[in-house]
Structure 1
């Protein structure tokens, strides 16, 4: 069997804190002892002021953004919903089968059913095993037969252009609430409420589907306040637990309103086990089954979220999950929760089987030549492909696409890693696909089996040209000793919760440690009571500062996998209330192994040697006295690497001093400008330099070259033939046919969109990420 590659350990940079920062953190967080480690970690993650810390740790101090920020789209959505209420229309919520889609549906169901009469509000969840994400023709036909006149999507719908047209032909209007990638042109819907319209730094930019649904209900409450229609509405706070479940399970970036909603939702979530009559008995049952209390984001990411996702992965149909989250019948909820538990157990077994087969297949490949992992097998169950793809992507540090084969069609899921925009990567090969949807880090797709090999080759070639870091990397946040583990350190690290993209769970490096009291345990299937093959190893971690040891777990490993003797280990510190009941002497605190290696091993541990100074947000135009200064925002890592290596060779800091990109123009507007310039140059016979064109159009060299190639299909010819200047002539008779013209135009628009995305990315990329990528080269 193949072994997964050994990850690199990226050690933290040494960034001196301000002298009073530890005292500031202690005062604002109300901790009994100076939180040196917590303050150090906050500082490294960009939380460096008292005001910033207050907003970060205290949701009550944060001012949430009004739903009015969505502008006319939200106004149009509200107007149509109010019309449906007044006319007593039949409305259907069209959800999705993952945790974000299920909770989105539950939020809209709980929020809207107070306004509609009996049998006038319905919901529909596609079947994961037979349907794709989003709207479907057959589903819309069924809704039309039942009298639906308005469909409100949640967590889907933005790119379902064909299905939206079909709905209109059936007399069904559509309101889209979603957070996935937008189409090039606005679809013909009543409204499309999607945060992708916002700039990346907008506080609503990273909302998941459930958070967008919540914003719609929040807006509806505000719009009906004081009117007869607003009758004894359920408090908005009672919806936030569902919002937190969807946000955290969907792995979105928890910043801005996302972080605020997750914090408020966890506050609501933990109320369910503190009363004999919880507001959501189904959520209470889920917490009991996963032995969680609801006060931690991990109670969602490792408890509730996987159980909700497991239902569609195993059964396909996840309709009852909405009922589980919204029903007020405790006995019925108990029965439904047990069904999710059984599904989750089955999911684990299937996941392990497929993962084992994937690793075996990878052992047959030369992984040094693979940029994107693409594998297909007729025996793989569709439901677990996404979760296994995520595992493999993390283990190998490469984007991973896993497909199951059904006749002449391949269908499956993709997961990204190392901040590679998977959606953009796959979109450029969309001509090989039958259908495709998702976002930069996760996607689903179908394609003809005959296209799989070509698709894989194209993706690998494309990513090789872009130039991106490959191979697994573990970012170490703090280097500590065993004696520091426990309640005090946990309280400090807990200041950063809830964790998410851009704010990951802290990884702790402990050197020269060893393991004692090791034993492993096979997990039982609660249905058959037989022991399955997924396992975990228990241990005590010791070092010279604490020979009594500290408890921990290593999931998916036998005790013999632990090294004998001294080792270096990267762990995460966690709290487990169930463990506290079994081992009260440790207070419920334990570590979980991320990676481990013997001290004698040739471990690749990379320590940052190149200092990077971030002046991107500095208002002044002055430059530092020392350092190699980058003033132009790059669009690829290839552009930044030479600067990094030059600074390393010169033993000088690399200074990122470029300004954030100005407000970008729509790609089609840039094309119109390019055509206008081309007509002027061709008419006057003037010579224009490449640099002048780039400045005039505010685009980069690569996008400009694609644009000039597209102009050629419209009859323009560059007579200069140099890389510095352009001399254009125009002959209508030399123009290509319309299909070729449109193909060239689409390529330019896609190239420009990618460039704009990359400029936005590089204007905000954390310094720590830049160091990691550069040193991985």
Structure 2
């Protein structure tokens, strides 16, 4: 396991002025807030750009915030309400066209309940949810035909429709008016519809600019309730829990009205969880052992379960019933189906991730700006999730495709994919520039879906890589961005008071991330691994590593966990940790969720580097100050220690960190050396060549074998090596196979060097102490 993954950035210099902090503390004292860490709240607000106290009041307290009226959408909202009012007066049939993800389903549920106050459900109001597997996102000709056959006069979309120019024109031909409510990218020209309500029409920084699909649908209902106030029998606020679920699940920036609606919605969600107004939602909270008062209850509890319905079944229509049904037996049965679908989703996601990682091992990531992978067996329902995991892990935009293996006569084989972005790269714009290769495409800057002929996949990959190289010419995508750390705390600080204080800044999300806390010089001990199971007792391949965090100076102890990791990933030892404070509802206690860590040396009583029975750790010290005998070259195997163990009573570790991983450059350097030796006929010392290339014995042997596979003749004489050029030029396939062979060995060597540079010295002692003194085993 290589750690830390990130470079840590603790901005402890950007502190608020003393007089500002005093003014904030004086105001906070009147709010009846927990006080032990109130200065920390002020510091976090200041560092996140909140400097005006009058704005902070509305930011922290929804009761003080002044929400934006739906009239901010201007003439588009006016036309929409006028058309809905006419439909109500003339008793027309209205259809809701929704979507199958959590934002789309909650938006559909908001319109189903909201419009249901004006149009009798089923009789004059229905909803249509596309099938994820057979229809994908957006409007479809077949679906519009079905609504026309039902006698629909007016279609209200939610979370979709802005760019469906062809389908919207077809709806007009069928005599159906359309109101589009959406938040995705706008078309170049306005489609032929009654109204287009989309926050992308608003200026940047507008309080409504970040609304998701469910929030736009709610604003439509807010305007309709205001226009016809005497008709609704159900208060509008009943819908706010659905709004909060959709907003959090869709990962929009929680600022402006998005934050306000989420704050209000979580209050409603927590209250209804107690009253059981929505028994399906209450059951979902019960399954995930959460109360509904925190964004994480949705992000890691309700949201994934709602999304899993379409990911597993394709048809997500029953998701609306799950969210809106007041029939307890029916709703709880649907909640169980969602729970089991989520378990199955995790298994599929793990399988696809494993297979994708096998493909990734064959890529040269030093020359890859956009990761594009495909497989005919991958489930389309989890491609977006796995693409997101890979994008975050490898810090590159990622697209995963399911490729078809059969096609209708005369038709090409098709690939269907999901894309996720990083680095603020506008993925939508990049893919849109390649639309000549696509048959369909939609999304927004950080997530998109597309279909295209399988034969176009290499062209798409090449085009996107060229575009990103031009888009970010100076960005090194092989290096992850810095991990922002908010503040330093101690193990003693962790617990209820700090949790309650940090909760004041919730809801956390995009633009307001969960605070990351730095713990220095702590010990991880008492590790144990859990394998999670589903509701019916079947094992699922997902793991959680739990442990204790101990402050050696005070003996203070706190529980921690690391999701998705196993016992072998984390040796017991001393570390600096970056964590997020969380609550474990299963065990009813506060815990630290591990984000990243780095090993640290433990100082002795005199402050000198620690010395165990055999090893002196000076890996972070000047090499010329290392007392002999010393190891100056980073090892790649346990056997590298054997000569020192048999000859010396102690050993100083004085090797520097490994050079940055640049596998492609290493391959090109190897080829350059080979061409030079072949052209000049010179021989070189094998030790000198290894030193020049920075290769261990094992990897050097692989390098020589790779050159031989390209046709080079190797001439060894004692400790010298010469090369003769290949008689014919290697084929492209031979070159790729040789490069892959070498790069795999080099990456493994780099991984081993990174491990031996970072591993705590006490772990080295434990392993080496268990080896026979003259052992050469790896």
| 199-208 vs 425-434, greater mean Cα deviation | 425-434
Q: Distance in 2 between matches of 1:140 and 1:545?
A: 69
Q: CA deviation at 1:472?
A: 2.8
> In the alignment, does 2:227 pair up with 1:218?
no
> In the alignment, does 2:104 pair up with 1:95?
no
Alignment of 1:673-684 (within 5 A): none
Q: CA deviation at 1:406?
A: 1.2
Match of 2:240 in 1: 240
Alignment of 1:390-429 (within 5 A): 390-407=388-405, 408-429=413-434
Q: CA deviation at 1:602?
A: 12
Alignment of 1:434-445 (within 5 A): 434-445=439-450
Give CA deviations for 1:670-720 in whole Å, capped at 9, x if unaligned.
xxxxxxxxxxxxxxxxxxxxxxxxxxxxxxxxxxxxxxxxxxxxxxxxxxx
Q: Distance in 1 between matches of 2:448 and 2:74?
A: 28
Query: Pick from 129, 132, 137: which aligns with 1:128?
Result: 132
Query: Pick from 465, 470, 482: which aligns with 2:470?
Result: 465
Q: Distance in 2 between matches of 1:432 and 1:333?
A: 44
Match of 1:186 in 2: 190
Match of 1:145 in 2: 149
> In the alignment, does 2:118 pair up with 1:115?
yes
Match of 2:682 in 1: none
Q: CA deviation at 1:306?
A: 0.4
Match of 1:530 in 2: 538
> In the alignment, does 2:495 pair up with 1:518?
no
2:420 touches 2:447 (CA, 8 Å); kept in 1? yes
Q: CA deviation at 1:17?
A: 1.1
Give CA deviations for 1:396-452 in whole Å, capped at 9, x if unaligned.
111111111013111011111122111111111111111111111111111111111
* Cα separation, partners in 2 of 1:138 and 1:75, compared to 1, 3 Å: same
2:118 touches 2:232 (CA, 8 Å); kept in 1? no
Match of 1:539 in 2: 547
Instruction: State the SS of the aligned residue for 1:183.
Output: coil
Match of 1:9 in 2: 8
2:109 touches 2:323 (CA, 8 Å); kept in 1? yes
Instruction: State the SS of the aligned residue for 2:282.
Output: helix
Match of 1:656 in 2: none
Match of 1:199 in 2: 203
Alignment of 1:550-699 (within 5 A): 550-580=558-588, 588-599=589-600
Q: CA deviation at 1:3?
A: 8.1
> In the alignment, does 2:86 pair up with 1:83?
yes
Q: Distance in 2 between matches of 1:254 and 1:388?
A: 24
Q: CA deviation at 1:51?
A: 1.1
Q: Distance in 2 between matches of 1:197 and 1:557?
A: 44
Q: Distance in 2 between matches of 1:510 and 1:367?
A: 33
* Cα separation, partners in 2 of 1:232 and 1:457, compared to 1, 3 Å: closer
Match of 2:500 in 1: 491
Instruction: State the SS of the aligned residue for 2:345.
Output: helix
* Cα separation, partners in 2 of 1:385 and 1:547, compared to 1, 3 Å: same
Match of 2:644 in 1: none
2:525 touches 2:573 (CA, 8 Å); kept in 1? no
1:537 touches 1:554 (CA, 8 Å); kept in 2? yes
> In the alignment, does 2:278 pair up with 1:273?
no
Give CA deviations for 1:161-186 in whole Å, capped at 9, x if unaligned.
01111111111111100000001111
Alignment of 1:158-197 (within 5 A): 158-197=162-201
For structure 1, the residue ranges without an aligned partner over 5 or more in a row are 581-587, 605-777
Give CA deviations for 1:98-145 in whole Å, capped at 9, x if unaligned.
000000000000000111135100001111111121100111111111
Instruction: State the SS of the aligned residue for 1:272.
Output: helix
Q: Distance in 2 between matches of 1:194 and 1:86?
A: 26
Q: CA deviation at 1:93?
A: 0.2
Structure with bigger gyration radius: 2
Match of 1:479 in 2: 488
Match of 2:762 in 1: none
For structure 2, the residue ranges without an aligned partner over 5 or more in a row are 406-412, 602-616, 621-778
Q: Distance in 2 between matches of 1:84 and 1:102?
A: 24
Alignment of 1:331-370 (within 5 A): 331-370=329-368
Q: CA deviation at 1:50?
A: 1.9
Root mean square deviation, CA, Å:
1.9
Q: Distance in 2 between matches of 1:164 and 1:496?
A: 42
Match of 2:437 in 1: 432
Match of 1:27 in 2: 29
Instruction: State the SS of the aligned residue for 1:184.
Output: coil
Give CA deviations for 1:640-659 in whole Å, capped at 9, x if unaligned.
xxxxxxxxxxxxxxxxxxxx
Q: CA deviation at 1:5?
A: 9.5
Q: Distance in 2 between matches of 1:72 and 1:234?
A: 27
Instruction: State the SS of the aligned residue for 1:59.
Output: coil
Q: CA deviation at 1:347?
A: 0.4
| 16-25 vs 56-65, greater mean Cα deviation | 16-25
Q: Distance in 2 between matches of 1:201 and 1:602?
A: 51
Q: CA deviation at 1:234?
A: 1.1
Q: CA deviation at 1:42?
A: 1.3
Q: CA deviation at 1:148?
A: 1.0
Match of 2:256 in 1: 256
Q: CA deviation at 1:147?
A: 0.9
Q: CA deviation at 1:484?
A: 1.4
Match of 2:625 in 1: none
1:88 touches 1:117 (CA, 8 Å); kept in 2? no
Match of 2:683 in 1: none
